[in-house]
Amino acid sequence: MSAKIKYVDEPLSKVQVVPDFLPSPAELAFREEGVKVTLALSKKSIEFFKSEATKHHTQYQRMIRRLLDAYVDGQASTRQSTRTPRDKAAQRR
């Protein structure tokens, strides 16, 4: 690792511009408003999430929250596509 890097002034080969796909700093700093709840879960579930959280160096509560959020997001898209005209009319009222 002590070898020095020697830079040369050579032309670059063909360069490809990659579109910016990273979230903005504002998106990274965004935190959704949380609501504290008391919820009784099975010992088996908590042990699973604690074990997985330890493996992935995160908090088990965060994993459960993300799982629930993913479920809600999936249900929201499913509900929109399966709404009947009657459901849509009721929503407008």
As to burial, measured by CB atoms within 10 angstroms (0-12 exposed, 13-18 middle, 19+ buried), residue 42 is: exposed
Question: What is the Cα gyration radius of the chain?
Answer: 24
Give dist(CA 54, CA 52) in Å, integer. Answer: 5
Q: Which helix (H) or strand (E) holds 76?
A: helix 60-81
Q: Identify the pLDDT of residue 77.
A: 78
- Tokens, residue 36: 């504290």
Better pLDDT: 12 or 65: 65
For residue 23, pLDDT beyond 70: yes
Residue-wise pLDDT tens digits, 39-93: 999 999 999 999 999 999 999 999 999 999 999 999 987 776 655 556 555 555 5
Per-domain residue ranges of the chain = 41-92
Highest mean pLDDT pick, 13-17, 23-27, 28-32, 39-43: 39-43
